[in-house]
Amino acid sequence: MEASRPASADVSHYLGVFRRHWWIALLATGAGLGAGAALTRTLPKVYESSTSVLVQAVDQDTNAQGGRTKGTVNLDTEAQLVGSGAVAAKAAELLRTSRSPVDLAKDVAVEVPANTTVLVITFQAGKPLDAQSGSHAFAEAYLRNRQETAQSILDQQIKTLTNKVKQLTTTLTGINTRLSRAAKGSSDESNLQSLRNNSQNQLNSLTGKLNELTTTTVGAGSIISDARLPDTPTSPNTMINVAACGMVGLLLGLALAFLRERVDRRLRSAADVRDRGRMTVLAALDDRTTPHFDDVLQPYGAGGRIFNRLRNEILASLRPGDQIIVVAGASRGSAATLVAANLAAALARTGSDVVLIGAHLPDSVVDAAPLARMLGVSAMPGLSDLLAGRVSLARALQRTPRIPSLRVITTGGAATAAGLMQSQRLKDTLEALRRQGGYVVIEAPSTSSSADAQSLASLADAAILAVELRRSRRPALLDAAEQLQRVGTPLLGAVVLPRLSGLSAADINPPAVTLTPPASTGRVSDAADGPVAGSKPGDPVHDDDLTQPMRFPTGTVSASGTVSAAETASPDADGRKAEAAKETPGTAVRQRATDGSTEITAIIDLSGAVKAGKPDAAKDGDRK
């Protein structure tokens, strides 16, 4: 089972997303703040005013058993009565407004403070004065309605008692009349006296109650805190609206940032290569440790130590007998060149014999210069010349002056070697290098530009991908891994580099060999030295006139260089050379092709050093 990622990795991932897309969150937050301010200005202002009413109990008040409020008065019921139609109608009369009672009731709110018999009546309006008047009107209307209701009940009780008193009085008068007519000592007299006493007692009781109700004063309640004129509106609240909209904008910005991160297919960090590309990261370089195109990294520098560790990991991953390592780029660019050159240098510093092959065929000679410039060798002849059969393997191999154990086969100067990566000659070359022992590092083109990387990987024992951040994309990286896996080559992992900036004109050193394509007249001239001395338009051009000496380590001299020095010492060297060519029998002068072909072949003299004072031998070797 795959181990779960630590929480710190997730936090760093989220922080990285925010760091890369902070401007989206900032813009969204600013938009939210602006929207909050605009919303505050457009919303209508609302003012509130409150009136506190102390509710007094009356005889008819009853509280529900187990109710929320304690005491005789049920304040929850009273709070509902404040917004009733009867109270709203009385409030409309007090306000003298044309609004209907139903609309007015929608603007009133009642609050019951805990452990009190107080109602806080709040009214909302678009103007401060209207809010004050509305709150006072509803409080006054509620008290009037409560008092009228209590008084009406009291009046009804008085009326009922009065009627009963009248009935008892009439009954008692009748009993007295009959009693005056009854015989003394008879049973009728005894019954009537008993009936008169009962009626008299009832009348006295009702008369007492009637007197009590008649003297009762109804007190429904009173206003203990009248409404005040509000100074500021309660809605819209500028701080709340701006803060809420800003928070919504921030959340939306973060969502957009993560959505952009999800949609963006570019790889921006080593973690993206590991997580999104599902690939092992062998080494990750930053701007401080990234190699340059002028030289390989020093072994004891920060970047050199990274490649030393990369070398150790690769050697530990190789199986016995594995020698050939291919380095391909996940995107177009020079990332594979930098990784392959520095990896080969790190392997060679261990004393092993290493051959670096530049298989990224260029479109021009200038494109081949970075690999030659980094290692101090000539750009030609190279792999394209070797595969085309123009030079042998021994002549294509060049030993670097600073790292003796490292030999290089540059890409060469021909741009017409397309398709040669699948040739039998390449397989024979790699087999010959394998028999020589040591390691072979192949700088392959990107997997997204051609199928040559896959062809080279099929001939290698292991593969490494060079990933250039902010240029390589996730689909290209997954496709590169799939291409290498389909040919059965073990993919060791990826080397991550930051985005490489283009070379400036000041950083570009001239290549060791500079060629110029043929002109329309068929005349070939050297781009660096100008036309051949003594030549005329239409004259044939000798191969040795187009040949420049190859750079050798200190202490050696090329044969062509010796000849050039001898000829330079004589002012008439060019003239004698031309005469000698005419007088020598059987000497054929090979003319350059004038068919307008863009293929250019550079002939480089790789013969051994000659002794001083024997220029003729050197010339014979050149003629051969």
Question: How is residue 350 written in tokens?
Answer: 């261990």
Question: How is residue 31 written in tokens?
Answer: 């938009």
Q: Cα(303)–Cα(285) distance, rounded to whole angstroms?
A: 7
Question: Where does 61-127 have alpha helices with state H?
Answer: 75-82, 85-95, 101-106
- Please tell me whether residues 52 and 38 are part of one structural domain: no
CA 476 to chain centre: 19
Q: Cα(413)–Cα(393) distance, rounded to whole angstroms?
A: 16
Q: Cα(221)–Cα(116) distance, rounded to whole angstroms?
A: 13
Residue with tokens 């001939």: 459
Strand arrangement of the beta sheet that strand 47-55 belongs to? 108-111, 118-125, 47-55, 221-225
Decide: pTM greater than 0.85: no
* Residue 614 counted as domain residue: yes
- Please tell me whether residues 373 and 396 are part of one structural domain: yes
CA end-to-end distance (rounded Å), the chain = 68
Q: Do the beta carbons of residue 303 and residue 327 sit within 8 Å? A: no
pLDDT at position 13 is 66
Pairing of strands 354-358, 439-443: parallel
Q: Cα(535)–Cα(90) distance, rounded to whole angstroms?
A: 121
Q: Do the beta carbons of residue 409 and residue 398 sit within 8 Å? A: yes
Q: Annotate 458-467 with b (16+ C-beta within 10 A) or e (fewer).
A: bbbbbbbbbb
Compute the radius of gyration of the chain from its Cα atoms: 54
Q: Cα(547)–Cα(246) distance, rounded to whole angstroms?
A: 72
Pairing of strands 118-125, 108-111: antiparallel
- Please tell me whether residues 242 and 284 are part of one structural domain: no
Helix/strand/coil percentages in the chain, nearest 5: 45, 10, 40
- Please tell me whether residues 352 and 492 are part of one structural domain: yes
Supply the DSSP symbol for 473.
B
Residue 19's CB is within 10 A of a number of other CB atoms, namely: 12
Residue 428's domain is classified under what CATH number? 3.40.50.300
* Residue 275 counted as domain residue: no
- Please tell me whether residues 212 and 259 are part of one structural domain: no
No. of H helices and E strands in the chain?
Answer: 20, 12
Choosing from 497, 530, 552, the residue where a domain stops is: 497
- Please tell me whether residues 291 and 415 are part of one structural domain: yes
Could you tell me the CA-to-CA distances from 380 to 369, 384, 478, 514, 547 in Å, in that order? 10, 9, 35, 9, 11
Residue 285's CB is within 10 A of a number of other CB atoms, namely: 23
Q: Cα(564)–Cα(577) distance, rounded to whole angstroms?
A: 12
Bridge partner residues of 50 (DSSP): 122
Helix 238-263 vs helix 7-20: crossing angle, to nearest 10:
100
Before 236, cis peptide (omega within 30)?
yes
- Please tell me whether residues 100 and 154 are part of one structural domain: yes
- Please tell me whether residues 181 and 70 are part of one structural domain: yes
What is the domain range of residue 186? 47-225
**Number of folded domains that form the chain:** 4
Contacts 24+ apart (CB under 8 A), 549-552: 549/605, 550/378, 550/398, 550/512, 550/604, 550/605, 550/606, 551/376, 551/377, 551/378, 551/401, 551/512
- Please tell me whether residues 539 and 473 are part of one structural domain: no
User: Hey, what's the torsion of the CAs at 176, 182, 183, 186, to 10 degrees?
Assistant: -90
- Please tell me whether residues 144 and 19 are part of one structural domain: no
* Residue 220 counted as domain residue: yes
CA 599 to chain centre: 47
Amino acid at 463: A
pLDDT at position 362 is 52
Q: Cα(379)–Cα(414) distance, rounded to whole angstroms?
A: 11
- How is 322-366 classified by DSSP, letter by letter? --EEEEEESSSSSHHHHHHHHHHHHHHTTT--EEEEE----SSTG
* Residue 502 counted as domain residue: no
Bridge partner residues of 467 (DSSP): 496
* Residue 475 counted as domain residue: yes
- Please tell me whether residues 530 and 558 are part of one structural domain: yes
* Residue 113 counted as domain residue: yes
pLDDT at position 60 is 61
- Please tell me whether residues 147 and 217 are part of one structural domain: yes
Using CB atoms within 10 A of its CB, is residue 169 exposed (0-12), middle (13-18) or buried (19+)?
Answer: middle
Q: Cα(377)–Cα(344) distance, rounded to whole angstroms?
A: 15
Q: Cα(221)–Cα(112) distance, rounded to whole angstroms?
A: 15
Q: Cα(137)–Cα(143) distance, rounded to whole angstroms?
A: 10
The whole-number mean pLDDT for each consecutive block of 10 residues of the chain, a chain of 624 residues, reads: 50 72 89 91 92 84 58 83 92 91 92 90 93 94 90 87 89 85 80 86 87 80 91 89 92 87 74 79 81 75 86 89 88 83 89 87 50 81 84 88 88 60 82 87 83 84 87 81 86 86 46 38 36 42 36 36 36 40 38 37 38 38 36
- Where in 196-337 does DSSP place strands (E)? 221-225, 281-284, 324-329
* Residue 13 counted as domain residue: yes
Could you tell me the CA-to-CA distances from 402 to 348, 376, 410, 552 in Å, in that order? 11, 8, 16, 11
- Three-state SS for 24-67 is HHHHHHHHHHHHHHHHHHHCCCEEEEEEEEEECCCCCCCCCCCC
In degrees and rounded to multiples of 5, residue 505 shows phi and psi of -65, -35
* Residue 559 counted as domain residue: yes
Q: Cα(294)–Cα(372) distance, rounded to whole angstroms?
A: 9
